[in-house]
Amino acid sequence: MITISKFEFVKKFVNRTILRIISWTLLSQLIYLATYTYLISKVGNEAFAYLGQYISTLTIVSIFVSMRMEMQYQYQNDTKKEAIEGKIKRTSRATIVFGALIIFVAINSNMDFSALAILSGIVGGGINAWNNLSIQKAIANKHYNMLNYLRNGWIVQSSIISVIYYLMGGQEIMFIILSDIIARFIVVVYVRLKGIKEIEVTDTIFQNKENTIDIKTALYSVLTYNLPFILLPSIVGVEGAGILFFAFRMAMAPVGLFATVLNDYLKSIYSHKEGEDIIIKYRKDLKKIGLTILPLYLLGLMAVHVASAYDLVEQKTASVVIILLIPSYLRVLHASFGFIPYFTGQLKGNYNLFIRAFLYVILGLSCSLLTNDINSAAVIQSITYIIVAIDGILLNDRIVRRSKC
């Protein structure tokens, strides 16, 4: 039986490495939100509708490019590591070249912005798959400074490039997407020049744990959270889709900040727990995380009201952000324990969860199509993501109850 003191979780969580990762992630998210809050007031919401289509396409394409092989990198011998790295890099290069050629043809064919944004996502997806491989290499070799740069560097670089381009007189509606591609490519070049020093790692946190590539679950997951932003411009209009995407990025920013770090930390703790211990610890940690981040979300709610009152954010954008804060909070609680199905080998439940989630999203999009209103679409998407998050939290609880880990 495990007993955890009130401050044990905080004491274990607060260490130099974790604080450094959180600090860089928080800084990059603040720069991102400040930059694009400024840009959206200058170039309009339409640009962010196309950015949403680009980012969503990029995320989906990167899954197909890598087939999640990078997640196996740190658990393989040197020969298999080289094979994984070679496959991903070759496929990434081919995807980038293929996407660039299609974009060249599309530009000369006077294709609309929506199509160009989606095609740009093909190029971005190839670059993103390459960078995801580098992230796993940095984790495997405990290269935390490089890990911080890989996860956050492109965000800061993209923000800086976008602002500089705008201030120099660039008014093209696609310049934000171009800035993102350039920033991601700079990361690839930097890692290529700098390199990630290989070390022999003997204390992998997944030692004696099953670690299976779950491509089907990954695909349904990225479709759940990205498909709406590809289709929304056709449902609520380009301006409405831009507001929804920007509000979604603002509301979901804490997910990237908290869930990623908590997931990495908790994996290292739970890998040493078994049977009844993991059930007790899961429920206590879920409650503690929920109580810890709740005040931060309340502060975020106040910040959105203040930003709206001083016209830093449009009122309609602020309303959508507030609507999406509840699913954001629940998603942190679910994503922080996203490793549990993999630890226990019970991937079928995880797969079924995201099939249901995908169906919820399709139903939500169908309802949005009937309403054709931005606020209604935001409420429907919020309800959808709340259902998905609660479903995931309950799934993790069922898994730990019936698992012997």
pLDDT, tens digit (0-9, with 9 covering 90-100), for 90-116? 999 999 999 999 999 988 888 889 999
Residue 329 confidence (pLDDT): 95
Q: Give one DSSP letter per residue of 245-264, joined into a string.
A: HHHHHHHHHHIIIIIHHHHH
User: What's the pTM value of the predicted model, to 2 decimals?
Assistant: 0.87
Spatial distance between the Cα atoms of 53 and 121, rounded to a whole number of angstroms: 8
Residue 10 has pLDDT above 70, yes or no: no
Residue 270: Cβ-neighbour burial (10 angstroms; 0-12, 13-18, 19+): buried
Note the maximum CA span of the chain.
68
Whole-number pLDDT of residue 209: 43
Q: Can you give the length of the chain in residues?
A: 405
Give the model confidence (pLDDT) of 220-276 as tens digits: 889 999 999 999 999 889 999 999 999 998 899 888 778 877 776 777 677 655 555
Reported as a pLDDT band with limits 50, 70 and 90, residue 80 is: confident
The dihedral formed by the CA atoms of 79, 80, 86 and 92, expressed in degrees to the nearest 10: -160
Torsion of CA 143, 145, 148, 153, to 10 degrees: -120
Residue 221 · residue 85 · CB < 8 Å: no
Q: Per-residue confidence at 315, pLDDT binned at 50, 70, 90?
A: confident
The yes-or-no verdict on residue 9 having pLDDT over 60 is no
User: What mean pLDDT do residues 161-169 have?
Assistant: 87
